[in-house]
Amino acid sequence: MIENLKVRLWIVFIIFAMCLLWFAPNVVNLSSVSWLPQKKINYGLDIQGGLHIVMGVDIEGSLKEKTRRMAEDLHKFMTEKNVVGFGSVKAAEAEEPEIEVEVVSGNGSDISDFISENYAGVLQVLSTSDKKIVVHFLDTWLIRYKQEIISQSIETLRNRIDEFGVAEPSITAQGDDRILVQLPGIEDAKHAKDLINRTAKLDFMMVSEDSKAGELQQWIADAEKAGDYSLGKLSYSDYVKRLNEDLRDKLPEKTVVHFGLADNAKKMEAGKIPYLLRTDTGLTGEDLQDASIGFDEYGAPTVDLSFNPIGAKKFGDLTGNNVGKLMAIVLDKVVKSAPVIKTRIGNGRAQITLGSAGKDRQALLDEAKLISTALKAGALPASLQQLEERTVGPSLGKDSIDRGIKASLIGAILVIVFMVVWYKSFGLFANLALAFNILILLAVLTSLGATLTLPGIAGIALTVGMAVDANVIIFERIKEELQKGAQLQGAIREGFARAFSAIFDSNITTAATCVVLMYYGTGPVRGFAVSLIIGLAASMFTAIFVTRTFLDLFIGKMKMKLSI
């Protein structure tokens, strides 16, 4: 315990001010001041109502398709490198994903060596004979690939849902082959399901160098003013569609306007960058075979792209004819990246370099992962099957939160009345500490951008009861010291010192249970554990530190006579 009373008072004041600032966005609109906190507590599906969907991911079907494409890629690559002795290359009819390479001459050693050298980390020769070579995927690669399937599916679903305008969607992996989608506050469930199941669209488009492009910003501003609309009022796809219709007579032939997100912006409406793009490239996501994280000759992270044979030819012609120009990679009409074409790329493989200005290696790696995932999210990597659907009506959610708040308030009032009646003046300080505890809990939940569910409200209600438990133990210790004849200040000092171990032991066991619930639980169970463990930590601080500070101030410093 810090002995200097002035230091303790400053600590209490600073923490109180910070908590007020964090919690403020829940009751006051602070969006006009950019440097102030903007996060709010989000309400879960059981409070707002909305849509709950569990989607099954066909990973097995995707893996079969990947094996087929890998067989085609292997055949094409060996042909280009003039490997001798092989015939057909096809996906094997087996339970495990395998590739069979026909041996037409020799013993197949050249083929095996070629695969081992060029596909290390992906493929491994399983068996070799005079007639065929069986190749299978490495287990480590399979695990990573299945994780990527889920990640790509989630990214695609998020693109769909962001377009629908749900404020705080929850899209998470559930097990090895399922995705849980929760859309709080949504009303048009049918429309939402259509968007979720719609395939994303990926395009490779050249940035137009038409002289009129310099007037683009002004055209956009004039169109928005004339039509009285903006990106905040319309969904992104509706906004882009209407804007291009309004600018039809001004835009050069075979061009369209799409937008990219500024580096420091979190949402498109906060920082959109317009691009004037040509629509005659003919290169789409259907021509992309894969996108993955790679590294250049200096070890810096890159994004490696590979196209199918048709896409490779298109890409070679496109890059060869546009050296030194910008090529935009567009996902759902959003420009994800616009790299400069440095040279013609005719082998069906491309590399996006990310630069290193102002970023460390991990930041570049995260950016490469984000771009590669976004590119592969152009189309769902595996078919999805709806396994479960629940719709929670907003009236039920409102009724639930009203009942939860009512129960919490009644519980809090009973606790406050008991503390005042039983511990008199000391009870008032315990109630002040309780209010401070709840403020800290709500402020931390707000700063984390947490989603509040009914179990979370139950955790807060339970925290109210447990928060004063520590004060009860301390006050009873103080009473014992007073009965022994100790002076009030000495009794307070001994009471806090002797009660600490009991308070710490009881809270640490409850916190351990919360940690287990957070680790193994999902959704509502985890929300309950999070709110309870934050409340426990806050109660330790308020009951021991804040209450002791108040008592030392009023009794020790101001010499007030208080009863217990």
Least confident stretch, 130-144, 374-388, 481-495 = 374-388
**562 falls within a domain:** no
Q: Please check the confidence at residue 193 and state whether its pLDDT lies above 80.
A: no
Whether the per-residue pLDDT at 99 is higher than 80: the answer is yes
Task: List the Cα angle 133/137/139 in 5-degree steps.
Answer: 135
User: Does the structure show a pLDDT above 90 at 380?
Assistant: no
- In the predicted structure, residue 563 carries a pLDDT above the cut 80: no
Residue 425 lies in a domain: yes
pLDDT at 100: 92
Cα 280 to chain centroid distance, Å, stands at: 35
In the structure, how many helices (H) and strands (E) does the chain have? 15, 19
**Residues in CB range of 351: below 8 A, 6 or more apart:** 294, 296, 302, 303, 304, 305
Do both 486 and 419 map to the same domain? yes
CATH no. for residue 352? 3.30.1360
Per DSSP bridges, beta strands 170-174 and 272-278 are unpaired
Same domain, 89 and 28: no
Tell me what pLDDT residue 546 has. 86
Which residues form the domain of 319? Answer: 201-375
Helix axes 361-376, 139-164, angle to 10 degrees: 70
Contact present, 275 and 257 (Cβ < 8 Å): yes
Whether 165 and 75 map to the same domain: the answer is yes
pLDDT of 397 reads 55
**How does pLDDT run across 155-187, given as a tens digit for each residue?**
778 766 765 555 567 788 888 888 888 877 666
Q: Which one of 324, 345, 375 terminates a domain?
A: 375
Instruction: Tell me: do 370 and 409 sit in the same domain.
Output: no
Task: Report the CATH number at residue 129.
Answer: 3.30.70.3400
Q: Give me the percent of the chain exceeding a pLDDT of 90.
A: 5
What is the predicted pLDDT for the residue at 441?
A: 87
Provide, rounded to the nearest whole percent, the portion of the chain with pLDDT above 70. 86
More confident residue, 163 or 418: 418
Q: Are strands 451-452 and 42-43 parallel, antiparallel or unpaired?
A: parallel
Domain boundary among the residues 337, 366, 392 is at 392
In this prediction, residue 207 carries a pLDDT of 92
533 HSE (CA, 13 A, CB side): 17
Q: Tell me the pLDDT band of 492, cut-offs 50, 70 and 90.
A: confident
pLDDT value at 354 more than 70: no
- Report d(CA 198, CA 210) in Å as an integer: 34
Which of these, 561, 195, 564, lies nearest to 384 by C-alpha position? Answer: 195
DSSP element (H, E) containing 221: helix 216-227
Assigned token pair, 329: 């990679």
**CATH code where residue 457 lies:** 1.20.1640.10
For the chain, the maximum distance between any two Cα atoms, rounded to a whole number of angstroms, is: 103
Q: What angle do CA 537, 539, 544 make, to 5 degrees?
A: 110
In a domain, 563, yes or no: no
Chain CA centroid to CA 232, Å: 22
Residues 141 and 271 grouped into a single domain? no
pLDDT at residue 509, as a whole number: 85
Q: What is the mean pLDDT of the chain?
A: 80
The tokens for 216 are 């683009």
218 in the same domain as 113: no
Q: Are 14 and 7 in contact (CB under 8 A)?
A: no
Looking at the fold, whether 447 and 383 belong to one and the same domain comes out as no
* pLDDT tens, residue by residue, 36-83: 777 777 777 777 777 888 888 888 878 887 888 788 889 888 998 888
Contacts 24+ apart (CB under 8 A), 421-430: 423/471, 423/475, 423/564, 424/562, 424/563, 424/564, 425/562, 425/563, 425/564, 426/475, 426/478, 426/551, 426/562, 426/563, 426/564, 429/547, 429/550, 429/551, 429/554, 430/468, 430/471, 430/475, 430/543, 430/547
- Shared domain for 342 and 455, answered yes or no, is no
Most confident of 23-32, 163-172, 404-413, 439-448: 439-448
Q: Does the residue 448 lie in any domain?
A: yes
546 vs 375 pLDDT, higher one: 546
Residue 540 included in any domain: yes
Q: SS in 3 state form for 17-34?
A: HHHHHHHHHHCCCCCCCC
Query: Do 216 and 230 have their domain in common?
Result: yes
**Strand duo 132-137 + 178-184: pairing:** unpaired
Residues 439 and 310 in one domain: no
559 sits in the region (left: phi over 0; alpha: psi -120 to 50; else beta) called left
Report residue 503: phi and psi, to 5°: -65, -45
Q: Tens of pLDDT along 239-281?
A: 888 999 899 888 888 889 999 888 777 678 778 889 999 988 8
Q: For residue 564, is it within any domain?
A: no
Residues 303 and 192 in one domain: no
The 10s digit of each residue's pLDDT in 291-314 is 788 887 777 788 787 888 888 888
Question: Residue 357: what pLDDT?
Answer: 46
pLDDT at 549 over 80: yes
Domain-terminating residue out of 359, 392, 425 = 392
pLDDT of residue 502 exceeding 90, the answer is no
3-state secondary structure labels for all residues of 501-550: HHHHHHHHHHHHHHHHHHHHCCCHHHHHHHHHHHHHHHHHHHHHHHHHHH
Strand order in the sheet with 132-137: 86-91, 98-103, 132-137, 123-128
Domain count, the chain: 3
564: tokens are 């217990």
In the structure encoding, which two tokens stand for residue 381, read together? 């990597």
**CA distances, 206 to each of 226, 313, 418 (Å):** 29, 16, 72
- Both 493 and 535 in one domain: the answer is yes
545 is a domain residue: yes
The letter for the amino acid at 4 is: N
